[in-house]
Structure formats: structure tokens, C-alpha cells
A and B are shown apart, each in its own frame.
Chain A
Amino acid sequence: MPNIILNKRKVLDYLGKEISDKELIEKIPMLGTDLSAVTDAEIDVEIFPNRPDMLSEEGFARALSSFLGIRTGLRRYAVKKSDYKSILEKDAVKIRPFVANAVVKGIEVDDYTVKSLMQMQEKLHTTQCRNRKKASIGLYDLDTITFPLTYKAVDSSFKFRPLGYDNEMTVKQILEEHPKGKAYGHLLAGPKYPIWIDSKKQVLSLPPIINSAETAVTEKTKNVFIDVTGTHKQTVEQTLNIVVAQLADMGGEIYEVKVNEISYPKLEPLSMEVDIADANRRLGLKLSGSEMAKLLAMMGHEARVKGDVLEVLYPAYRTDILHPVDLINDISIAYGYDNFKEEIPNVYTMGEESYEEILARKIAEVCVGFSFLECYNYHLTNVDEEFKKMNRKAEKYIELANAKNENYNIIRNSLLPGLMKVLSENKHYEYPQNIFEIGRVVFPDEKSENKAREELHLAVALCHKNADFSSIKAVAEAVARECGKKIDVVEEKDPAFIGGRCAAILLDGKKIGVMGEIHPLVLNNFDIELPVSALEIDIKPLGD
């Protein structure tokens, strides 16, 4: 979720009212934005991804002024007719299919304008534009370009001067050498590349990578041309709306651009009906239609009561309104989470613990009765710890595809290695160290939906100078006895244990575990200096 730093003076100017820091600190979080800090000059907030329209001083102030009751209701943005035209050529549309344009004239520019526009553009790019994949924004100084504009496809040898460079570069060079080309080049597969070019052959940009140097927005720009291109129509149109609304709030007037005869931006408010009874049922409140309308106005909407429903007009830049519940959600925010009285309904249901947990707890009780100490390890580990150090073959385990940390890139299929690690890290403490763990282990299983099979295991490790086979066998027998079961044993070969001092634990003839004296080689691997006898059992069969 993006954090943005807003110019506090600007926000207050837009609000048209002096608001104390105390009130800001109190109110901002209740609007559904996570406040990090308010300082003398700045407001540092985290905007949730459903509200990209708030990623600028203008957008933030717009929402806040409604919420604080300073200027409630729907903002209407007039779009003036114009002769601005963009022509989309088929070859370019094939590469990045959706395009929306607009012009905003007469914005009030100051030192902060360019910085603010850049921040908004960058935040929109990383959030709802999905790193420029779904949509990307280009802003240009209108006075440097001549309509009509053409969106066309060119070869990689096509040249223009990209922003931040003194000389012309080919598209190929830009993709290979320009920082933006390196960062976003993967979004263009080639061999053709889209460009914006005006009627005087001035290149505007290579979307979604970089603008040309000549058409860039500067501190002096008053009139702006906006283009948004992308792979997702709705995102492209909504992104344009967010940008245009911000520029209009900077004092600009919006002009349409006909993109292949379709007029943009589409800023007409959208409408949705909210069933008043349904809203009250979800909220747990008894609000009248007009009370709801007032609350909706505090969230920047316009609502009219029409019988049992509210007819709500909401701004075209509110990308998050998918369903009437989103408007009801806005009602709840305007009502104030603090004002809801919590209630526990008198609904009778019977509590029930999972059998797995009951079994685990009962067996843990037995182990605690033996004065064993319970350990708690990660499920993720690595081949070296899980198998190599145990002198076991690395097999029957599941590997992660993208682990950042190579020490934790497989899922454990045995608990014992974890206990051995605990012993190796606690050598400086008093012995005996008798420990246990109950936890899940995972094996590959082609037959199940998630290709995995989980078992709930108990592992016990006894570490002291007399730890031997019979002491661990006594534990195994006692655990089974406490569960009303009797185990059998048969000699087993497991390289983690000393040969001839290792046994499979059988229940009704089926192997449910292994136990024995840990092989000195394994003790050396873990740098443990006292003998260890240990067991590991699948505990589910003990409960059956």
C-alpha cells in the first residue's frame, strides 16, 4: 500500500479552512487512510489501494473536505467541447490497445506543481496501473504540440530525444540504455513499438516507457495534454479521470479530446441504487433514507431518496465502487466507526475443537508430565539441515519455487532435525535437555488437490549422558499407553540412528514412527557432545 507525503499547506489551502494537527490526527484515520505522521510542513499517509483518487494533495483534500463537512456532495467536472483529435493506428492499438486522452488548460502553477504531478503519476503507476502494465500516464506541455496527434507503431530504429538526454536515441537504444527503458522495456515485446507523434512530426512519447524531451511539463507549463494507454480499458479510463480531476482542482479547465471519434474524458458521474433496508440490515442501524443521503454526501456522493431506495450519483474517478456494498461502506465510514455500538447477538451455536488439536494437546500433556520442554520451530528449512546433517537421503519433500532466503526453501518432512538444531544451539545450558515438538510435516502427494499430504508428528529428543535406546523406547510405549494403544517394534535401518539401536514403531502392524540412538556422525554434524536418543511418531493413528 502506497505511502505518500503531502504538502500540508496545500492540503489546508484546498480545504479552505485551518484545521489543527490534533483534528487531522484524529480524523484522517477515520476516513480510511492510515496516518503515519503530521509535521509542520507535511502529512504522511498511507492510501489504501481502493482509493487511487486520493494519491495527491488535491484528491486527498477533496475527500477530506467532504468528510469534515466543509464541502460535501458530488463534485461535477465540466468537460468543454474542442477540436482536439487523436488518431489511433491499428498497428499501435495491437501493441497497447486502450487509449484515453484529455486536455486541461490554465492550471495554476507553482514550485510544488511539477513535484506533485510527478508523485501522483508515480504512485498511480505503481498501484492501480500495476507498474505501468495495465495503464501508463503521459503528461505534456500542450503548447509544445500540434493537433491532431497520431498513435502509431514504429520500428526499433526510430529515433527521438528522450527526457533526460541531450541527443536523439533509437527505440532500441532507449530500451537498452535508458533507465526507464531498462525498467519497463519488458512491457513491449517488439518488433513494433507504439509512439505518440503530432502533426508536425514532433514525437511526444514512447508509451509506457518515456516522454520526449521537447514536450515535457516544466515549472512554466499552464496547459497540459494527458494521455493514458494500457491493456485494461477500465483502468485506462479511470486513471485518466483521476489525473484530470486533480488538474482541474489545480484551477484548470477540462477540454475533450476525440480519440478515434470517442470523446474523453468520461467524467459524467456514475449512478447506482442502494436499497435502504438492505443498507440498514448490513450496518445494523436504523437510518432513514435522508440520513444516509447526508452521510453519502460526506463521502463525495449525491443521493436522492426514491421510495425504498437511494439513487446515488458517484464520481467517475471512484474506481472502487463495484457493488452497492461499497456505497454502504462509505455510509459506515461517514457514520464513524467509533459511533457503532457493538452487540453480541444471542445466536446459539456449539463450540467444537478440531480433533487434531485435542490429540496434540493430550499428547503434549503426556510429554510435559515427563518434564520435557516443548519447542517450536519453523516449517520451512533447507536440504542441508533437514537431510544432510541427519545423514539421511534428501527425498519426499516439497520445495518452494521462489524463496528469498535459501536457508528456508523447503518444507520440513520430519521434526527431528529441528530438535537436533535446538540441542546444538543450547549446549551451554544445564543437562539433561529433554525436548519435544508436535507439529505438521509435509510430503508430496500426487493424488491430492494440493499435491501434498500433511501428517501431525510428535518428536522427542532426550539429551544427557545416559540417553539410550531403552529410555526412548519407554517414552514411546508410555505415549501409546496413554492413548490406550500398544505399540510393537521391529529393527529398522535409518542412517540417522546407530545401526542395531534403531527401531520402527508399529501400531497394528503399520509403521507409525521411528526411534533409536542418534548416530554419532549426526551428533558431530550438529556439534552435540552428549548422546541423544530420539523418536518421531505420526500421532493421528494413536487417536483413531
Chain B
Amino acid sequence: MHKHEIKVLNALKDGKKRELCELSKITKLPEASVSYAISMLAEKKFVDIEEKELTEIKLSDEAREYIKKGFPERRLLNLIKEKEISLKQARKELGNEIQIALTWARKLNLATISSGKIKITATGRQFLKKSLPHEEMLFLISKGKIPKDKIKALKELEKRASLIELKKRKKLFAKITNAGLSVLKKGTREEVSQLNTEMIKTGKWKNLVFRKYDVKAEAGSIYPGKRHFVRQAEDYARKIWLEMGFKEMTGSLIQTAFWNFDALFTAQDHPVREMQDTFYVKGKGELPKKELVERVKRMHEEGGHGSKGWNYKWSADEAKKLVMRTHTTCLSAITLASLDIKKDLPAKYFAIGRCFRNETVDWSHSFEFNQFEGIVVDKNANFRHLLGYLKQFFKKMKLKARFRPAYFPYTYFSTEMEIFHPAQKQWIELGGAGIFRPEVVVPLLGEDIPVLAWGPGLDRIMMDYYKINDLRELYKNDIQKLRQSKKWLMG
């Protein structure tokens, strides 16, 4: 038994019914502790409890002030007990309370007013030496005594706005049972709930009984700090590429059209470059070193290295435009341009990053999205290797993937990757892969070396894993959902 329960039981051992407040006074415990102890005792059938509804009277601040200063009508009565006074003078003395004073003086017939003068009445005089009924009532209430026969006056007082408040309150009574008495007789042993330093150090714990807990009781939820679920997925994708020996590329979100499009053999009139698809940034950027620009330009205009090119006039101005990168493939182009084919090959790179497109937002479209990018620069690389790397990645992601022929301006053996959605029983497009065309590789690397390349979206994979039906939820930051979101449990 808890020590509070023992105290309460002892306070009840004479067999009398006692109220919570009273028990609190006897045991010197807070009411909340007593209440809890009573309920625990009741559960063990050591006490009977009884709840009664009582009316409680509460005085307002105004009422307390009246007790100190006297009611306004009493103060008015005092002013006019010698001689009549003018209304103006009364107002000066009583201030704001004059209205209340006059109302009640008239109601109780204590004074009359005529032509601006206030004069005491006979009734008024009677009450000079004796209390008004409600004065007496208020006084009694303040002393905590309310005679039963004064109930009528009480109602009267309640009508007088904001002086008292009648509140119904439940009161809890407890009475010891026979079982309770016999437990007391047998002697009780104190139970403790919380083990503390003192008990541990002094060895006092040896004589203690630990209160039994309800192990099924609610413990309350706590939430750990957590990385955002998108970041968790990104980290896993990163880990896969790292394990396969890929180096990470990073780069700017803002790119010149040169790196985003031209270096990738995307003709300057290609629809993807139009304003309705690509975010342009105000202003113009700068082109990289001249020889490189010249090589890219020639490839667009007249081809070379076996290619016919696009046959149009290439504009440096168009290439200087600044865009929010539309794919991370621009990072691959930049990386290729930086490689020394004599020293750096074979080379494998990856990137995971945010890309942008000028879209209106809905459940399946967003103006920002995440892509993962990869390139393998290897003289011996071929199409079967491309499929190998990708299949390996999807296997690690526990996804079933397939590859359909597709078209992109900067690759051949272009393929659209699709993953199988088991719930929807359909294939979902993830994005493209292929081998960079010689028109891309030769100007950047100087030689037609196979460059396997891929750049599918990551968001669809995450939507699938987290059972999200709307892309916008990735960016919603609903704190409760983040708190409860499951961790990325792969890897």
C-alpha cells in the first residue's frame, strides 16, 4: 500500500465519513494526492466513497470591497443622514458608484430625489443603526456562515449582478469498510512508487515494497529527432552508388544553358528549351573556355566525327542564358569536360540533386524534383553494362525494373526505366538512361569513349516506399506526419 493510502486509511479508522478537504487537512497531503489515494483504496474495497453535490458561494472582488467600504447605498445613507445633499455633491463623493447607490436607495425606499436633491426617508433612518438584509447576508457569507433561513436573501443577493456566484460542486466523502479496518489491524506496509537515490544509497530499499504498476497503462508518446524521409532515401541511394565505386558530383542549381543543353547536343530550338518548360533566371552567364565552346558549336552546326550535326546557326547568346538546372545531367557534362582521358579513366560518377521545371503543381507534377544521375566513362563500356549497373541499383532498392526503348537528344540506346508498382499492378516511368552520343562525348572528352549515363527521378521511388499519393507531400512538412513517419529501413 502506498504511504498516502495508509495515511488516509488511518484518518478514517474511527469509522466516520469524511470529506476530501477534511482528509487533506488531517493527513497534510494535497487534495489531489488524497483523491488519488481514496480512489485506489476504493478499488481495493478498503473504503466506500460517496459523491455529493453541494452549492458553494463565491464572493466577487466587488463584493469583498463592499464588505470593506460598505455598499454604495449605505455610503449614500451616511452622506444624507444629517441633511439633504445635491445630486452633484453625491456624485462627487461616490463617483461612478452613484448610479448603483441611487438605484438601490430607491428600490429599498431609503431616500427620495426631487429637484436634484437627495433626502433620507423614514425607512432610511431606521436602517441608520441596523444592517440592511443583504449587508448582513454578505457579512455572513464572508465569515463562511450561511443560515438556512436566509436562503431567500441569498437569492436576492445573487440577483444583484456580479456580487456572488453560486456554484454547484461535487464533494467526495470516504468511509472505511470492514475490509479496510481489518487491513489496518493486520498492519500495513508502505509501498513506494519511485526508487530514489536515498533508498539506493542507504539500503532502505530492502524494507520497501514497490507498488505494482499497470504495465498496460498508456506511457504517452515520445518522438525522436529524425532526418526528413526524403533525405533518408537520398542517403540510401547515395550509399548504393558509393558501394559500387562511384564518386559524387555536386554543382550549382543555376547553370548556363550551355551546360544544361548545348553541351548535351540539345539543339537550340528544341522544345525543352522553351520558356514554358524551363525556368530561366534573369541575366546572362559566361561560357567556359573558348576551345570547348568552339567544339560544341561546330558539332551543332555541321557535325563531325561521323555525325551530320543539326545544321543550323548556333548562337553563343542563347547558350549564355541562365537556367535552373532541368536535370543533373549538366553535372555529368561538366565532369566529362574536366576529365583527362589519359589519367582519369575508367571513371564512375554519380549525383543526387534537386532539379527544376516550369510546371504548375499537382499531385504528380512539381516544379522541383529529385534526380539521381550516373555516368560510367570506360573504353570498354557497352549497353549490357548500362543495364547491369541499373539493374543492380534497382535490386538494392528492392524494385522490379524493366527497360523500354526511348529517345533523348543526347543518348543512343536510350531507354526509359520503369519500376513495377505492386499495389497498382502497373509499370511506373522513372526516367531515362542511355549511352552519350558521340556528338556529346567528343567535344567534351576529345575522343568517342563510351559514357553510360542515367538520370531517373527519385521521387517516384520514395512515393512508392512511403505510400504517398501526392508529390506535394514530400515538401509538406506536416510535423505530426514527420514524427510518425517510418524510417527508411533499407541498407
Contacts and interface: CB of A to CB of B under 8 A. Distances in A.
A31 B405 contact: yes
A325 interface: yes
Nearest to A326: B412
A402 B322 contact: no
A58 to B, nearest CB: 21
Contact of B388 (A50, A130, A343, A435): A343
A364 B405 contact: no
B479 interface: yes
A537 B389 CA distance: 38
A248 interface: no
A474 interface: no
A375 interface: yes
B285 A367 contact: no
B403 A337 contact: yes
Contacts of A367: 225
Interface in B321-348: 322, 324, 346-348
A349 B347 contact: yes
Interface in B223-272: 223-228, 230-231, 235, 238, 241-250, 252-256, 269, 271
B368 A32 contact: no
Interface in A454-506: 454
Contact of B281 (A50, A342, A400, A405): A400
Contacts of A402: 275, 279-280, 358
A342 B391 contact: yes
Contacts of A434: 225
B281 A399 contact: yes
A320 B437 CA distance: 13
A508 B254 CA distance: 30
Interface stretch (A9-17, A105-113, A191-199, A350-358): A350-358
B228 A374 contact: yes
A183 B309 CA distance: 31
A471 to B, nearest CB: 15
B354 to A, nearest CB: 6
Interface stretch (A159-167, A281-289, A302-310): A281-289
A232 B313 CA distance: 10
B42 interface: no
A422 B228 CA distance: 13
A324 interface: yes
Given A326-B412, A404-B358, A351 B225 contact: no
A323 B308 contact: yes
Interface residues of B, number: 97
B87 interface: no
Contact of A411 (B253, B284, B309, B388): B253
Contact of B360 (A284, A326, A405): A405
Contact of A377 (B252, B282, B391, B475): B475
Nearest to A368: B225
Given A281-B382, A337-B415, A344-B389, A323 B437 contact: yes
A224 interface: no
Nearest to B284: A451
Given A32-B405, A49-B407, A452-B252, A376 B285 contact: no
B388 A352 contact: no
Contacts of B404: 29-30, 32, 34, 337
B242 A351 contact: yes
A282 B382 contact: yes
B348 A349 contact: yes
A66 to B, nearest CB: 15
Sorting the interface of chain A by its residue count into under 10, 10 to 19, 20 to 34 or 35 or more gives: 35 or more
Interface string B332-374: 0000000000000011100000101011110000011000000
B243 A351 contact: yes
SS of B interface (majority): mixed
Interface stretch (A171-179, A328-336, A521-529): A328-336
Given A373-B225, A380-B367, A454-B253, A449 B288 contact: yes
Interface string A197-222: 00000000000000000000000000
A401 B235 CA distance: 33
A344 B382 CA distance: 10
A426 B478 contact: yes
A425 interface: yes
Nearest to A127: B271
A403 interface: yes
Contact of B228 (A50, A376, A401): A376
A449 B256 contact: yes
A426 B479 CA distance: 6
Given A232-B311, A454-B252, A333 B226 contact: no
B413 A364 contact: no
B434 to A, nearest CB: 9
A434 to B, nearest CB: 8
B146 interface: no
Contacts of A353: 238, 242, 248
Q: What are the 9 tightest A-B residue pairs by CB atom distance, in nearest-first order?
A: A284-B382, A32-B405, A284-B384, A48-B407, A342-B387, A351-B242, A371-B225, A342-B388, A368-B225
Given A30-B404, A340-B384, A422-B479, 16 more contacts: A29-B404, A234-B311, A282-B383, A323-B439, A325-B412, A332-B405, A341-B384, A342-B384, A343-B387, A347-B378, A374-B227, A377-B477, A379-B253, A398-B282, A426-B478, A452-B252
Interface of B: 223-228, 230-231, 235, 238, 241-250, 252-256, 269, 271, 275-276, 279-288, 303, 306-309, 311-312, 322, 324, 346-348, 354, 356, 358-361, 367-368, 376, 378, 380-385, 387-392, 402-407, 412-416, 435, 437-439, 450, 474-475, 477-480, 482-483
12 contacts: A329-B414, A342-B384, A347-B245, A347-B378, A352-B242, A352-B247, A364-B231, A374-B482, A400-B324, A402-B279, A426-B479, A430-B480
